[in-house]
Amino acid sequence: MKIQICIVILLNIILVALFSGCAVMSEKHTHQGIEHEMLYDFCNDHNIILLNVEPVENTSIIAYKKENEYGIMKLFLSEQPNTISFIKNSVSIDDNSHQIAFLQLDCAERNYIALFLLNKEIAQNASVITIEFEDKINPYKISVTTRDKDSVIIPYSSENDLRNISGVTIENISGSVIYETGGETEG
């Protein structure tokens, strides 16, 4: 009887150790993010200029430029080792008349806005960027601070779908508005 109890206890210990080991191995695999070297290799392989990175667990959100294309991508590790998969949204800008461009990316866990400051003077003087969302029930704004950047990635909650943007306001460090637009996507 004592031997049977010892065997049962020993089997339980072995099973707990096995399942714990599996959970640890699984956790390491699923919570692994995009390493910097892989990220830069991906950009080089796809001939894109990395403008901004928002690291997120298991993924990286990037703002990029490729020739006259500006875009936002969600990069994630695919099932194949050392391979990055992605989803993206992009816009081509063929002239210099645009001062900003903004795009959204719909992700299951969060949505993202990439705001590109195409005018150098605006990029150098921007301090606070406010995105206003159009919503009849719950309108709201998101404000972020920035300094001397040509792009910003702004996460926001993904309650349902992407929200309509009703305006973008950019202020300088003294609080003066240096750029303001309605909801039309410039770009």
CB atoms inside a 10 Å sphere around CB 9: 10
Helix (H) or strand (E) holding 43: helix 36-45
> Which residue ranges make up each domain of the chain?
36-182
187 band by pLDDT with thresholds 50, 70 and 90? very low
- pLDDT tens-digit series, residues 27-42: 333 334 588 899 999 9
Q: Is the overall model pTM greater than 0.85, yes or no?
A: no
State pLDDT tens for residues 11-29.
455 544 434 343 333 333 3
Per-residue pLDDT of 118-161, as tens digits, reads 999 999 999 999 999 887 677 788 999 998 899 999 998 876 67
